[in-house]
Structure 1
């Protein structure tokens, strides 16, 4: 069995859990591959990784069975970009903080890995959002699991985002920016800007303004079959385009469109955890001193 690993921060608190993952997989005779972004950290901390091969991206020809993300949600988002259209199943082990996507806690590592090797799991297929532009911005990683964003630069005034849905004019958002989130991303940046929580398989996108100048402008849910197009105006002639944790500065001449990606992100889930459990735990729903 071939298993890819990706993780970035190995502090003293996290090291024992990473060690537990490595020991378990090596004892199971798994062939390990480690991402180029983390190979040095693995080798410096765990000498048994010196013979492991590395990878930049995973393709279907690599015959990798799973990718295990060791960290928080940001680490898992990077793992999604490494897998791309190969659609290799990703297991997120949360050694970070929030863990909305990396839902397997450190305390259940052995149980999760046992279930993984015994094929006792389910695949949760998540929609990705694809960005198209008239010039290359993010090379070939032009998709995101959480959200696409158009944002003002740090020192600029507000921007105007003229927005069209399937060619029909929707609105001109005078704001600090605009987010188009997937249902998965509805609990991320969109939520912090007042967007709704949308269940993962709702087949929607959420259009959420960032600090809109007009208070009566509200988030809007549209079908994920829609094609959303933007024209941007800014006094500085510059603005930021983001896909999850990636961002680039571009000018007003860039033409941008987003739609549903043709492939999906395949997340590994287990019977002892579900989406509603995650909502209650991570958002502290029902947490009351009176209880």
Structure 2
């Protein structure tokens, strides 16, 4: 087997998990390849030399992300449409995507070797704009959400929204989030959006601090093509694709739809989405219960 290892940070906690992971993989004779920038940062702190990668190819059996959910969101920009399964070791905070804890690393690797896992296919969003933009062109997809928001102003913006070519409304707000089921427990949830199970064929439109108080999150089919045009007092606005940000000129036409590929997340038998909800959101953690 051949495994890719990716992380963003060289802090104590990720390094401790990396050391355990490397030891476990070496014992099981799994070929290890570490992302080049991460390897450069940790090189003085590890004794063994490893091969590195800048770009992935289909020869990898799986990718291990060490960090939080944000690290996995970065990792998908490397995986893209290669169908390489991802598993996350959680050294961050919540960990809806990165679910393996430090003391579970060895068991998780053994489960992968013994094929004691399932694959959760996560849908993504793609974005196109009528304005040529280098950041969007470089990587035009997102696993969690795509959002438009105000830039250098405290004034609200107007987000004119169409679904499949039919006018929906103009949101007068700080912005608008278009979220996948995976992203429903992220930014959208913080803005009052619903939690959606990962395998639901849905998207959700969640306004950010809307001034028209009747504006509520809207769940739509994931086959819907969403068209946005932003206007406001400033000449530009922001578009975020997970953690990546681009600046667009007002009145630019933005088209958002479901991506033609999915991201494959490894899920182990002792994990379920509902169990994760209870643990991470503390559902039922009430003294009265």
User: TM bucket by the smaller chain?
Assistant: over 0.9
- The range that moved more, 237-246 or 24-33, is 24-33
- The range that moved more, 66-75 or 30-39, is 30-39
Say if 1:147 and 1:182, in contact at 8 Å, map to a contact too. Answer: yes
- Per-residue CA distance 1:218-276 (angstroms, 9 max, x = gap): 00011000000011102111100010011112211422100010000000010011100
Equivalent residue pairs, number: 287
How many Å separate the matches in 2 of 1:155 and 1:36? 38
How many Å separate the matches in 2 of 1:45 and 1:139? 36
Residue equivalent to 1:46: 46
The alignment partner of 1:112 has SS state of: helix
Matches within 5 A, 1:1-291: 1-48=1-48, 50-55=49-54, 57-60=55-58, 63-134=59-130, 135-136=132-133, 137-291=135-289
The alignment partner of 1:170 has SS state of: strand
The alignment partner of 2:106 has SS state of: helix
Q: CA deviation at 1:37?
A: 3.3
Q: CA deviation at 1:58?
A: 1.7
TM-score by length of 1: 0.95
How many Å separate the matches in 1 of 2:14 and 2:124? 30
How many Å separate the matches in 2 of 1:13 and 1:64? 25
Q: CA deviation at 1:54?
A: 2.2
The alignment partner of 1:79 has SS state of: helix
Unaligned ranges ≥5, structure 1 = none
Q: CA deviation at 1:119?
A: 1.6
Say if 1:156 and 1:236, in contact at 8 Å, map to a contact too. Answer: no
The alignment partner of 1:139 has SS state of: helix
The alignment partner of 2:92 has SS state of: coil
Q: CA deviation at 1:74?
A: 0.2
TM-score by length of 2: 0.95
Q: CA deviation at 1:216?
A: 1.0
Q: CA deviation at 1:36?
A: 2.9
Say if 1:182 and 1:205, in contact at 8 Å, map to a contact too. Answer: yes
How many Å separate the matches in 2 of 1:241 and 1:286? 36
How many Å separate the matches in 2 of 1:115 and 1:202? 27
Q: CA deviation at 1:154?
A: 4.3
How many Å separate the matches in 1 of 2:152 and 2:278? 34
How many Å separate the matches in 2 of 1:150 and 1:271? 37
Please identify runs of 4+ aligned residues in structure 1 that moved more than 4 A: none
